[in-house]
Structure 1
């Protein structure tokens, strides 16, 4: 009887000790998750990623994921009595509200009115991964999606030859090819004023103009440097593109691999220069185009974009997976709005 009586308090003590230890570990886990999420929010709100290595975690762990993490932590804090307190719930809830508030605009369609019969331009962009994209798949994409303009990044001379052999030239006979730099533009319709930019970017960007509905649309095939390699160089690329956007007028399309998400400060500055992201415009603010082809890992972030000036509106946008490259293609239909 004596052993039974003394054993019960010891068992109760062990349970209390285990409960306290579990609460400490729970608080630590939630605290670390919230610290990471709050740090990313701080970077986004203050623009600290511009020109600094902080641009890299904004790619590897983008803002929508950190918002989801905060929502999960809020659920845990509310559901677990040992973690729940007015202070912790208030802090986590405030973080969630700020994050959701920053994200909501890209998930709400702009609802711009496109008059019936408006002239349309069907565009696509693809980073070919140094020509690794299957040329037959590229040709099939152009054929099935009835693409008018195709921007290809990281396309070397051998890639140009492979695409021509696969039949791309027959579908898109008008071309502004610059494999010596990086990007090229293919078109079903005649191009004019083709060339490359003379701006402060790591390499020249390929440009051309196309007539749509009696108006001239400026095209820029974009591929910037990448933040992991040199965040300062990447920021200067984006700044140069913003200056080019301000000079390009309302009938402009910038499409390609920007190596940036909508959460990056330089990307938001580019959009503020007069461009609209087709995905966000249509309420598809969590599209994912990279990386493709990794075992057990789906595409996580959107680095590839179709941006357009105020003279156009996005009618549709989507992603397509092609073999041989680590990026998904982006396909968009743009309509010209009345002048």
Structure 2
């Protein structure tokens, strides 16, 4: 037997061994990537994010679904990695994610009677007054905003907005820069003030008379989970308690520091509120962070929630220079009683 004949089986064996190791490494890498969506699915189903540090990674639940889709694509596209069991596991994971995420991408399609009175509302976290006042006033003007909630607006920011012309557009206001949220309005306000509930700081409230009805507004800014997750959870619980006592014509809008996948946010919605983005099928509205070269907006922390007396007509996000949050503008219609 020649040396060539002897070496051929050895070379074939080496190639099979290398292919086996490559397959093992490839499947292991896929498993590592899948650990994130699998872990977040468990947290999402069990509610373990409430009051725990797991609240921080929970905001990435939709992003983790994208990772699972990519892994499935790799398993299908690369012949060396194809495995019925691996594909089945990823498919089950994606079905579970899809079942949780799909409802927010399907418009509810609620009928809005032609005679319904509409309210145009907006919210913006001004990032400690960093938001460009002229840009915000222009947004109010072009979008014809009736009620504006502003969070993290210090006294200097209030003055800057008035110098930019907001006082002429929205002469009625309940300003509490010391408490972190304020309400501006084109229409007269009544019963304005602040809440006395267990939140890190009082939330600003006011009522607006529209079409013979009174709409109650709550300008929301909760504590943030990264700073104190238990404090944030208590803030959300206090808002939930308020929502249970609220009238059907109520709007909670602001920076909740929470996504639709957080357990405290889902409890708040279960108290009788509807997220306008999810209602209209805009399931992944990315409002934060803005203005970072390396990190695009990925997370929705800013919301317009409303009671059953109203229905969402439209909703969208707008970039205002100077703040790391995007403004949310929504049109709400009052349903006939």
C-alpha distance in 1 between matches for 2:19 and 2:84: 20
- The residue aligned with 1:13 is 13
Q: Secondary structure at the match of 2:81?
A: coil
C-alpha distance in 2 between matches for 1:40 and 1:166: 44
Q: Paired residue for 1:96, among 90, 94, 97?
A: 94
C-alpha distance in 1 between matches for 2:102 and 2:297: 22
- The residue aligned with 1:336 is 334
CA drift of 1:29 comes to: 1.0
CA drift of 1:95 comes to: 1.1
- The residue aligned with 2:285 is 287
- The residue aligned with 2:58 is 58
CA drift of 1:36 comes to: 1.4
- The residue aligned with 1:128 is 126
TM-score using structure 2 length: 0.97
- Output the aligned Cα RMSD: 1.3
- The residue aligned with 1:147 is 145
Unpaired runs of at least 5, structure 2? none
Offset from partner CA, 1:197-227 (integer Å, 9 cap, x none): 0000000000000011110000000000011
- The worse-fitting range, judged by mean Cα deviation, of 30-39 and 260-269 is 30-39
Q: Secondary structure at the match of 1:82?
A: helix
Q: Paired residue for 2:160, among 159, 162, 180?
A: 162
TM-score using structure 1 length: 0.96
CA drift of 1:3 comes to: 5.0
- The residue aligned with 2:219 is 221
- The residue aligned with 2:39 is 39
Q: Secondary structure at the match of 2:50?
A: coil
- The residue aligned with 1:302 is 300
CA drift of 1:13 comes to: 3.2
CA drift of 1:94 comes to: 1.1
CA drift of 1:2 comes to: 4.5
- The residue aligned with 2:65 is 67
What is the aligned length? 337
CA drift of 1:72 comes to: 2.0
Unpaired runs of at least 5, structure 1? none
- The residue aligned with 1:30 is 30
Q: Secondary structure at the match of 2:308?
A: coil
Q: Paired residue for 2:112, among 114, 119, 124?
A: 114
- The residue aligned with 1:325 is 323
- The residue aligned with 2:260 is 262
- The residue aligned with 2:314 is 316
How do 1:209-248 residues align onto structure 2 when only pairs under 5 Å count? 209-248=207-246
C-alpha distance in 2 between matches for 1:337 and 1:206: 25
C-alpha distance in 2 between matches for 1:9 and 1:294: 56
- The worse-fitting range, judged by mean Cα deviation, of 84-93 and 46-55 is 84-93
